[in-house]
Amino acid sequence: MTSLDSTALPALSVGGLVDYIKAVLEDDPTLAQVWVVGEVSSANNHPKGLFFTLTDPDTGAAISCVVWRSQQARLTTKPALGDQVIVLGTVKVYPQRSSYQLSVWQALPSGDGLKALRYRQLRQRLAAEGLFDAEFKRPLPGLPQTLAVVSSPQAAAWGDIQRSLRQHHPGLHILFSPATVQGDTAPDSIVAAIERVVADGRAEVVIVARGGGASEDLACFDDERVVRAVANCPIPVVTGIGHQRDESLADLAADLCAHTPTAAAVAAVPALADLLDAHRQRASLVKTLVAEHLLNAQDDVQRLSQRLLRVRLDQRMQQQVAHLTQLKRRLTQGVQVELRQASDRTQALRSHLMTLDPDAVVRRGYALVRDSAGQLVTQAANTSPGQTLQIQLAQGHLTVQVTHVHPPPE
């Protein structure tokens, strides 16, 4: 027989226990936003909201649920008795009746509904990153020489692409990068095939292709790994996946979506016949433009010839020659006048210099007296008796000695 020690196991009040359970459940992040799949076993519309029970058909487990009236307009589908649904909600605990309930925000049909939800969430997230923005789409090269195809070697898409390219643009160099395009291993296989093309470096355009099939067969092209590989590929990507009505996330990320393999082959490269037609049209346009230019040039030559005849170039030449002769005459006359005036000024200056020449004064009978230093003596007071002086005459000079100095008369 075992005795219990009340001090070792403290008792909780009912409120304390319920509060603890409430805290554990409502603080659990998993239960704060949880998806639950089940069958609606009961449903009751109430002014406050829709109350229903969600039951697990396999185990019989059940949980009470409520969609408050304010949330009902946001539901994708309204739970009804017998429906298989998947709901998103939060677990709430009600202490007064010691029960818990799932407060529902969203309800979807089960099965495809969950898949559609995940698809929509992934699409919104990738779109928010800009992977589908038109501004990031790269233009295809005008005339690629090498094209790569990512597809299954057993798929009909690969054969369709080869036939289309042979007819559409014969002589094009085609690289094939095989990949699994269906099943669980397909995403990794497609990504690896694209990476092989990038590493090879020869392709100018990449076609990612798969023939039509059920939606689950095309699910690999909605895989995030494949979508990012297509969006991040440095080579322009053209997708041809499924039928015209099919659209995958890889199509949205591609630079060009052609929907079908054949359409992708046609869109990736221009038709050789179209190129030849365009070349012929350009050649014809060039010939037409050259002919028009020659006609315009001939018209210009004819018009200028007529203008020359009207202008009488010989008369204009004679007028210019006469004008130049007149300018030459005026220039000669001006130079002669300047020379004559310069000659007159030169003669006047020569005469003035002659009057200032000391030798000319001496030749008229005067003499120049210089002291021993060669300085002119003009005053008797500047000499002294016994001083030797030089007297320059018209012819020759004298050396004299002063014997007496006579001051000038007062």
Residue 328 shares a structural domain with residue 372: no
| Whether residue 240 sits in one domain with residue 281 | no
Give the pLDDT band of residue 246 (cuts 50, 70, 90): low
Q: What is the mean pLDDT of residues 371-390?
A: 83
Indicate whether 1 pLDDT > 50. no
Q: What is the pLDDT of residue 234?
A: 94
- Convert 215-235 to b/e letters by CB count within 10 Å (16 or more is b): eebbbbbbbeebbbbbbebeb
**220 lies in the same domain as 95:** no
389: in domain: yes
Domain boundary residue among 77, 110, 143?
Answer: 110
Whether 123 is covered by a domain: the verdict is: no
Q: What pLDDT is recorded for position 188? A: 94
* DSSP secondary structure letter of residue 42: E
Q: Is residue 111 scored above 70 in pLDDT? A: no
Q: Do 186 and 97 fall within a single domain?
A: no
Domain CATH number, residue 18 = 2.40.50.140
User: Can you tell me the mean pLDDT for 308-325?
Assistant: 79
Query: Structural domain of residue 286, as residue ranges?
Result: 273-340
Mean pLDDT of 12-30: 84
Closest to 75 in 3D by CA, of 103, 48, 107: 107
Residue 167 pLDDT level (bands cut at 50, 70, 90): confident
> Are 193 and 285 contained in the same domain?
no
Q: How many residues does the chain have?
A: 410
Q: Which DSSP symbol is given to 140?
A: P
**Based on the domain organization, do 66 and 98 belong to the same domain?**
yes
Write the pLDDT tens digit of every residue in 168-204.
778 789 999 999 988 889 999 999 999 999 999 999 9
R_g over Cα of the chain? 59
Overall domain count for the chain: 4
Strands 388-392 and 397-401: antiparallel
Q: Return the minimum-mean-pLDDT range out of 62-66, 195-199, 276-280, 382-386.
A: 276-280
pLDDT per residue as tens digits for the range 64-107: 999 999 999 889 888 988 888 889 999 999 888 888 999 999 99
User: What tokens appear for 397 in the block?
Assistant: 């000079």
Q: Identify the pLDDT of residue 2.
A: 46
Q: Residue 244 pLDDT more than 70?
A: no
pLDDT band at 369 (very low <50, low <70, confident <90, very high): confident
Per-residue pLDDT at 233: 94
SS3 133: coil
Say if residue 208 is in the same domain as residue 316. no
Question: Looking at the structure, do residues 31 and 78 belong to the same domain, yes or no?
Answer: yes
Q: How confident is the model at residue 410 (pLDDT cuts 50, 70, 90)?
A: low
Mean pLDDT, the chain, as a whole number?
85
Q: Evaluate if residue 5 carries a pLDDT over 80.
A: no
Cβ count near 392 (within 10 Å): 17
Distance from chain centroid for Cα 351 = 89
Do 266 and 278 have their domain in common?
no
Instruction: Provide mean pLDDT across the span 35-56.
Output: 91
47 within domain boundaries: yes
Reply yes or no on whether the pLDDT at 283 is more than 80. Answer: yes
Q: Within its chain, how far is the Cα of 289 from the centroid?
A: 35
Is 155 contained in some domain?
Answer: yes
31 has a pLDDT exceeding 60: yes
Which of 149-158, 208-217, 220-229 is least confident? 208-217
Who wins on pLDDT, 205 or 109?
205
Taking 80 as the threshold, does the pLDDT of residue 245 lie above it?
Answer: no
Tell me what the mean pLDDT of segment 250-256 comes to: 92
Q: pLDDT tens digits, residue range 394-409?
A: 778 888 888 888 877 7
Q: Residue type at 125?
A: R
DSSP conformation letters of 327-377: HHHHHHHHHHHHHHHHHHHHHHHHHHHHHH-HHHHHHTT--EEE-TTS-B-
pTM: 0.48
